[in-house]
Amino acid sequence: MVAGIGELLWDIFQEGKKPGGAPANFAFHASQSGCNAILVSAVGNDELGRELLSTLNRLNLNINYIQQNDFPTGTVTVQRGENNQPRYTIHENTAWDNIRFNDGIQKITGQFEAVCFGTLGQRNQVSAKTIQTVLSSLKPGCLKIFDINLRQHYYTPEVIELSLKQADIFKLNDEELKVVSEMLGIAGTEEEQLNQLVVRYKLKYVVYTLGANGSLILSADEKSFLNAPQVKVADTVGAGDSFIAVFTAGILQGDNLKTAHQKADKAAAFVCSQNGACPVFPPDLFQEL
């Protein structure tokens, strides 16, 4: 079983709304990559929450561990900037800020093979405590994926350092590497910085995405770089989430680093060619691999 834990929300585009939130996107893409995937999050007891649950159910994502509470369902206003890069305005005091650790979650944490979490889901003490409790109750060998997702001012050096110490896989992009390296006092070329992260935090993999300039995955003894496929970009929302979800699914299913990377690359390129974070993969997406 694979889990995303943290934010679940509506991405509000000019043309309408689509389900989003990095852990939710991770769970969805892991599910359509052959994993038994769940999402641990919360929506409000409101119309947006009911509609979101209904939408995820239609996408065949397990919603049994999505709580409902009296806070409003999360929303993010998304504006497309230069080169279709998204700019996010994330609204506060939402349902996913208030995820409670309960008996239902406690019963399944021992079944997790991989868990994805980030900084945004830890901006509020309630959800942060739940995420930390889940991470501390996992079975040995469960992959802990830290998808950093730096947004607005919703992160601190303390949260980043703690999350890195807990992680097996660290996913970040080129803009995030600049912030993390400065924050942690890491110098050198980009690849040297990534290698230092692997060594300092005993990471199995660092997954580094560079948008149109490709992607690089490093471990202590392996390296894989791929140029980004050429696609007509609709928007890039959720591309990184699909990348790390498909990579994780590949590793869990026994793929070698290169094959898992190639699958992740194809998935992210397809997501970029579609509107929204959670398009359904065509059945032949990985056929050539």
pLDDT digits (tens, 9 = 90+) for 22-59: 999 999 999 999 999 999 999 999 999 999 999 999 99
Q: Domain total for the chain?
A: 1
Residue 177 burial (C-beta neighbours within 10 Å; 0-12, 13-18, 19+)? buried
Mean pLDDT of 105-109: 96
Q: Rounded distance, CA 277 to CA 272, Å?
A: 8
69 part of a folded domain:
yes
The backbone region for 269, taken as left when phi is positive above 0, alpha when psi lies in -120 to 50, beta otherwise, is alpha
87 part of a folded domain:
yes
280 part of a folded domain:
no
The backbone region for 163, taken as left when phi is positive above 0, alpha when psi lies in -120 to 50, beta otherwise, is alpha
283 part of a folded domain:
no
For the chain, the C-alpha Rg in angstroms (whole number) is 17
Question: Are 265 and 215 a contacting pair, CB within 8 Å?
Answer: yes
289 part of a folded domain:
no
Count of residues making up the chain: 289
281 part of a folded domain:
no
Residue 157 burial (C-beta neighbours within 10 Å; 0-12, 13-18, 19+)? exposed
pLDDT of 84 strictly over 80: no
Question: Are 262 and 226 a contacting pair, CB within 8 Å?
Answer: yes
List the one residue out of 35, 4, 194 whose CA is nearest residue 118: 4
- Give the residue numbers spanning the domain of 212: 2-272
Q: Rounded distance, CA 122 to CA 183, Å?
A: 18
284 part of a folded domain:
no
pLDDT digits (tens, 9 = 90+) for 162-171: 999 999 999 9
285 part of a folded domain:
no
pLDDT of 87 strictly over 80: no
pLDDT digits (tens, 9 = 90+) for 236-248: 888 999 999 999 9
Four-residue CA torsion sign, 188, 193, 198, 201? positive
CATH of residue 257's domain is 3.40.1190.20
